[in-house]
């Protein structure tokens, strides 16, 4: 195998494996969120959305992320061509941060 082929092979492996690793972490976070919600440690996504979405007048809701390590939800919105992130404490439902406006 020549050097060019070896580099191309390495690049392909990275592009194929990296997204799979990211997906695995996302599934772990989703599983952790479901378990924490069932055990009453965090509020459900529906409860969080019902608190936050009405406050985001003029913004389009794009979806959530959950960080199991910090038990926080991150809701993504689009307003006037800009992405706005709203961070919410999953335990209390309180907005703890906002960025992108």
Q: pLDDT by residue (tens digit) across 36-78?
A: 878 888 999 999 999 999 999 999 999 999 998 999 999 999 9
pLDDT score of 98: 95
Rounded to two decimals, the pTM is 0.68
Q: What is the mean pLDDT of the chain?
A: 82
Q: What average pLDDT does this structure show over 80-100? A: 95
d(CA 64, CA 25): 15
pLDDT score of 13: 53
Q: CA triplet 80, 81, 83: central angle to 5 degrees?
A: 100
Torsion 45-41-65-31 (CA) sign = negative
Question: In the chain, where are the structural domains located?
Answer: 3-99
What CATH number does the domain located at 3-99 have? 3.10.450
pLDDT score of 86: 98
Q: What is the DSSP letter of 63?
A: E
Q: Is there a contact between 73 and 29 (Cβ–Cβ < 8 Å)?
A: no
Structure tokens given for 88: 């919410």
């Amino acid at each position: 195998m020549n050097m060019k082929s070896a580099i191309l092979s390495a690049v392909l492996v990275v592009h194929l494996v990296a997204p799979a690793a990211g997906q695995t972490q996302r599934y772990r976070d989703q599983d952790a969120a479901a378990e924490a919600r069932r055990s009453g440690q965090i509020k459900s996504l529906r409860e969080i959305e019902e608190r936050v979405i009405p406050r985001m007048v003029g913004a389009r809701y794009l979806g959530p992320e959950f960080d199991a390590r910090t038990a926080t939800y991150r809701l993504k919105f689009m307003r006037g061509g800009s992405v706005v992130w709203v961070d919410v404490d999953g335990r209390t439902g309180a907005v703890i941060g906002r960025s992108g406006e």
